[in-house]
């Protein structure tokens, strides 16, 4: 991207598709589409209140995707909240897994996450 592109706001072209344009945003329920029994919800983890909200949603049998990036600069606090989530999810007979470094998935009871182990890197001789 050149300096004139930055000044005039021309965006850099990428090979990555914008999947948002293919997905339609729908309401949780309306006259044509009744509400679902369970939902997949995303929660941004900023404090303990957001963790409690995630657990409340989990108790309602919803699958929760937690964005931990808002607390990334507070690792001790993040570790404590994730520990609390892990203990509570396990008590509920749910499951917890790391999707990416920013996203953690929580599932209610009777929903398990298939976790694959990373293959070890080949040793160099």
How many domains is the chain partitioned into structurally?
1
Give the full edge-to-edge strand order of the sheet including 63-67: 40-44, 63-67, 103-107, 95-98
CATH code (residue 72) = 3.30.110.150
| Domain membership flag for residue 9 | no
Three-class secondary structure of residue 95 per DSSP: strand
Instruction: Select from 23, 70, 16, 15 the least CA-distant residue to 48.
Output: 70
**Count of beta carbons in the 10 Å neighbourhood of residue 40:** 11
What does the pLDDT read at residue 95? 96
Q: Quote the pTM value.
A: 0.70
- Residue-wise pLDDT for 56-95, tens only, equals 999 999 999 999 999 999 999 999 999 999 999 999 999 9
Strand partners, 105: 65, 97
| Domain membership flag for residue 24 | no
Q: How confident is the model at residue 102 (pLDDT cuts 50, 70, 90)?
A: very high
């Amino acid at each position: 991207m050149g300096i004139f592109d930055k000044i005039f706001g021309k965006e850099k072209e990428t090979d990555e598709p914008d999947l948002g344009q293919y997905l339609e945003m729908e309401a949780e329920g309306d006259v044509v589409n009744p509400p679902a029994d369970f939902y997949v919800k995303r929660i941004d983890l900023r404090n303990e209140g957001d963790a409690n909200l995630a657990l409340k949603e989990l108790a309602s049998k919803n699958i929760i995707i937690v964005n931990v990036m808002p607390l990334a600069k507070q690792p001790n606090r993040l570790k404590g909240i994730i520990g609390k989530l892990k203990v509570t999810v396990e008590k509920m007979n749910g499951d917890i897994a790391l999707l990416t470094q920013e996203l953690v998935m929580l599932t209610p009871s009777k929903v398990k996450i298939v976790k694959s182990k990373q293959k070890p890197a080949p040793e160099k001789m």
